[in-house]
Structure 1
Amino acid sequence: MKIISYNVNGIRAASTKNFFGWLQATNADMVCLQEVKALIIQIPEIIALIEQLGYYHYWFAAEKKGYSGVAILTKLKPNYIEYGCGEEWIDKEGRILRADFDNFSLMSLYMPSGSSGEERQLKKYEFMRFFDGYIGTLRIQFPNLIISGDYNICHTAMDIHNPKSNANSSGFLPQERAWMQVFLENGFIDAFRHFNKDPHHYTWWSYRAGARTKNLGWRIDYHLVTKPMENRLKNVRILPDAIHSDHCPVLLEID
């Protein structure tokens, strides 16, 4: 089974760059999208394309138009869809969507960024604190859980092109990195690092100064998988040649 996570930075913009031709070629079974920036009623042509490719589709948009929002596309019909997490401000921003299947659950996650200033950084920390408790409870009910998405955090110095100059940058702050470490230690596997220990693998690049061409990036998009699913992990690949966004997709293969 192939599962893709992809922050598309606007599904309408991505669709003008042959996103759906690319998606068809991947033959992915499930796709977690982040930052879709659209309501279903705004994208009827895109919905038609998704359905033509054989996907069921579920969307959880932000209240603010053109902002945030997550989606799950799946060729296997879920048993249940959970829209949001029950925390009002997070749900207004459209950041969490979960699909439950017979033997695992899949979540599309878009964690807030703190790069716009101190106020949003504090909201990011608030999200992180909430998410700890939320997932801790959820894992009791769903021990086989995959959380795929844009975490807006580089876990280690190996996950960012210049750790020294970014030491005080949101997304690589000590408190954020420590949170990621503890989150993993509490029962999750970073699926990419499970297979690949090498540096210089990134999932996001600034649009400035030719950063993508020079591979001056950050790895902030993850598939985090609960430890009971470890023996089902087959492969994970970052797909930097897919250029529909300032992010690139991450492909997880499981039994």
Structure 2
Amino acid sequence: MKIISYNVNGIRAAIRKGFLDWLVAVSPDVVCLQEIKANEEQLDLTLFEEAGYKYNYWYSAQKKGYSGVAILSKTKPDAVVFGTGIEYMDFEGRNIRADFGEVSIMSMYLPSGTNIERLEHKLMYMADFRQYVDGLKKTNPNLIVLGDYNICHEARDIHNPIGLKNVSGFLPIEREWIGDFID
């Protein structure tokens, strides 16, 4: 199974910039999208179906034009779970999961920490999300979490590591979390 994750920074803008041509050329079985910034009813879903993704699931933030995640698939999943059941996470449309046989695939969009309030929110989210995933793995041991973590694991993962070394996403506490999470 070929799975790809892509932060589109607005699905409608991505479509205008050739996203669908790219999608057809790369042809993954499952695509996890983050930062879709649109509600399902704002999209022409036939475009995705014509690209080979008959099964597409959208989980938008309650705030219009903000965050949101999606999963596009060539095959029908056995189940789709919208959100985590943790209200403050689900309000921002940051997690969607599709189950395919023994494999669970999650598209996740971790908050950024653009100011101290959002950084505190991000750190709380990370702790709660880790606990959620640890519980989920008990029933779904083959869980694959893809997405935009808004964290740079290594300096090569950011466009300006020297200038951004002290900002959220590049802080040691966040890098430690991602290191533990991906191992």
Task: Please report the TM-score for the alignment, with normalisation by the length of structure 1.
Answer: 0.69
Letter matched to residue 12 of structure 1: R
The superposition leaves residues 82-134 of structure 1 with CA deviations (integer Å, 9 ceiling, x where unpaired) of 1000111110100000001112110000000012x111111000100101100
Please state whether the residue corresponding to 1:179 is helix, strand or coil: helix
Question: How much has 1:28 moved relative to structure 2?
Answer: 1.2
- Equivalent of residue 157 in structure 1, options 131, 155, 158: 155
Aligned to 2:27: 27
1:80 aligns with 2:79: yes
Q: Measure, in 2, the Cα distance between the counterparts of 1:174 and 1:26.
A: 35
**Aligned partner of 1:125 among 123, 126, 130:** 123
Aligned to 1:40: 40
> Which has the bigger relative contact order, CA under 8 A and spacing at least 6?
1
For residues 125 and 19 of structure 1, the distance between their equivalents in structure 2, rounded to whole angstroms, comes to 32
- Contiguous gaps of at least 5 residues in structure 2: none
What is the aligned-residue RMSD (CA, Å)? 1.2
Same amino acid, percent of matched pairs: 55
Q: Matched residues in 2 for 1:166 and 1:17: separation?
A: 28
- Which 4+ residue blocks in structure 1 deviate beyond 4 angstroms? none
Distance 2:102 2:171 in 1: 36
- 1:76-155 equivalence runs, <5 A: 76-115=75-114, 117-155=115-153
- Cα distance change on mapping 1:19 and 1:163 into 2, 3 Å: closer
Aligned mates of 1:129, 1:50 — CA distance in 2: 35
Q: Is the 8 Å Cα contact of residues 102 and 142 (structure 2) preserved in structure 1? A: yes
Question: What TM-score do the two structures reach when normalised by structure 2?
Answer: 0.95
Within a 5 Å distance, the mapping from 1:183-202 to structure 2 comes to 183-184=181-182, 188=183
The answer to whether the Cα contact below 8 Å between 2:24 and 2:52 also exists between their aligned partners in 1 is no
> What is the distance in 2 between the residues matched to 1:113 and 1:145?
23
Residue 57 of structure 1 aligns with an amino acid whose one-letter code is: N
State how far apart, in whole Å, the 2-side matches of 1:21 and 1:79 are. 28
SS in 1 for 2:178: helix
CA distance in 2, matches of 1:17, 1:85: 31
